[in-house]
Structure 1
Amino acid sequence: MLRVTVLVSGGGTNLQAIIDSVNNGTIKNTKLVGVISNNAGAYALERAKKAGIPSFCISPKDYESREIFNDALLAKVKELETDLVVLAGFLVRIPEKMVHEFSHRIINIHPSLIPSFCGVGYYGLKVHEAALAKGVKVSGATVHYVDEGMDTGEIIFQKAVEVKEDDTPETLQRRIMEEAEWKLLPAAINKIALNS
């Protein structure tokens, strides 16, 4: 049984897709053991509570230094006996110590076709604003392993999504979530669970 901890910062739509996929059997051989947010007000924590998943807020603001926060985050992930860490809209850089300790056991969903519109500064609506400003005809989402870089780890899955003439950053974001993110992330977890 793959023990998964999900890290979130906001509304938790990707978390909900994971919860639903575990519950309906799309993701097999997997138990969601914890949800951690850096934001006490994140609606994702409510989603976790409703699903009966232990949830925790570990915020850099609550610690004297980034290093102490990093240690607290790693300690909680280890305490949950996590096999796989899933970043589902987690807007905090993963500590290098954690990347090394969980090498090839942390995955992230990014709302573009990496290597386009990724790296430092590309998150949330900023990704879709940049894609529309460039005039791309296709965008999408990527699930990848997390390494020391920013959106530079090995790609697991990608899915292209058409960009429409009248798209706004918000409409493009929604379509990429519905058509790509909410399918790719559960598929990647299932693939890892079946191979573990």
Structure 2
Amino acid sequence: MTVLSLVVLISGGGSNLRALLEAAADAEFPARVVAVGSDTDAPGLAHAEEFGVPSFSVAPTSFGSRDEWGAELLAQVRRWSPDLVVCAGFMRILPPVVVSALSPALINTHPALLPAFPGAHAVRDALAAGVQTTGVTVHVIDEGVDTGPVIVQREVRVEPGDTEAELHERIKTVERELLVQAVLDIANGHVDLKETAAR
């Protein structure tokens, strides 16, 4: 069995990270999280500590430019020689130097059915648009904002009277499942990221 090594990048609570760590705790799961990175002192780094996974933080405020920050972030990621880098609730747009170095082995989860509702407020935007269905996308990261090739999507129904928090919570449940499945499919060769990126 080929086992993928993952570096996971987070900015917040790390619920997607935890889903991957729990999946990888099963010896039969063909991927392992080798390091967790963040752009902040993210609460989700506690999950890495709990599972005994090394972590690092590269704060943009410590650098004179976005490109300098990106170069250091890339250097930290490359220390672990990952097969795949997963942005799981990482809330910053990666500089081109990072994307060109890592993509297509660089994926992201997004709480909408892209290309609908890109950007940081996807759940709020879906509610404002009055759609009956939104969902989750796992996609390859390119240099745009949520514009990369789609790997997999799953729908989530918008219920009457949903608040942003309620809808986002249901989306997160699906997002965790879909991310774990996407990593499994990449590890098993059911998804070829180079082919996906070439579409």
Same-fold call, TM cutoff 0.5? yes
1:64 deviation in Å?
2.4
1:114 deviation in Å?
0.4
Letter in 2 for 1:94: L
Provide the residue aligned with 2:185 in structure 1.
191
State TM-score, norm by structure 1. 0.92
Any conservation in 1 of the 2:113–2:155 contact (CA below 8 Å)?
Answer: yes
1:21 matched to 2:15: no
After superposition, give the CA deviation of every residue in 1:109-151 in whole Å (9 maximum; x if it has no partner). Answer: 0000001101xxx22xx21111111110001100000111111
Alignment partners' CA distance in 2, 1:165 and 1:24: 38
Letter in 1 for 2:35: G
Provide the residue aligned with 2:9 in structure 1.
7
After superposition, give the CA deviation of every residue in 1:82-105 in whole Å (9 maximum; x if it has no partner). Answer: 110000011111121221111210
Letter in 2 for 1:12: G
CA RMSD of aligned residues (A): 1.3
Provide the residue aligned with 1:31 in structure 2.
32
1:135 matched to 2:130: yes
After superposition, give the CA deviation of every residue in 1:36-95 in whole Å (9 maximum; x if it has no partner). Answer: 01011x111111100111011111011222222111100011111111000001111112
> Unaligned stretches of 5+ in structure 2?
193-199
State TM-score, norm by structure 2. 0.90
1:57 matched to 2:57: yes
Alignment partners' CA distance in 1, 2:149 and 2:132: 24
Number of equivalences: 188
- Give the 5 Å matches for 1:136-175: 136-175=131-170
- CA 1:95–1:139: 2 relative to 1, 3 Å: same
1:24 deviation in Å?
3.4
> Unaligned stretches of 5+ in structure 1?
none
Q: Secondary structure at the match of 2:70?
A: helix
1:25 deviation in Å?
5.5
Alignment partners' CA distance in 2, 1:139 and 1:19: 26
Any conservation in 1 of the 2:67–2:97 contact (CA below 8 Å)?
Answer: no
Provide the residue aligned with 2:195 in structure 1.
none
Q: Secondary structure at the match of 1:117?
A: coil
Provide the residue aligned with 1:76 in structure 2.
76
Alignment partners' CA distance in 1, 2:147 and 2:129: 21
Hey, which bits of structure 1, 4+ residues long, moved more than 2 A?
none
Match of 1:181 among 162, 175, 178: 175
Q: Secondary structure at the match of 2:81?
A: coil
1:8 deviation in Å?
0.3
Alignment partners' CA distance in 2, 1:25 and 1:159: 27
Q: Secondary structure at the match of 2:148?
A: coil
Alignment partners' CA distance in 2, 1:100 and 1:133: 34
Letter in 2 for 1:174: E
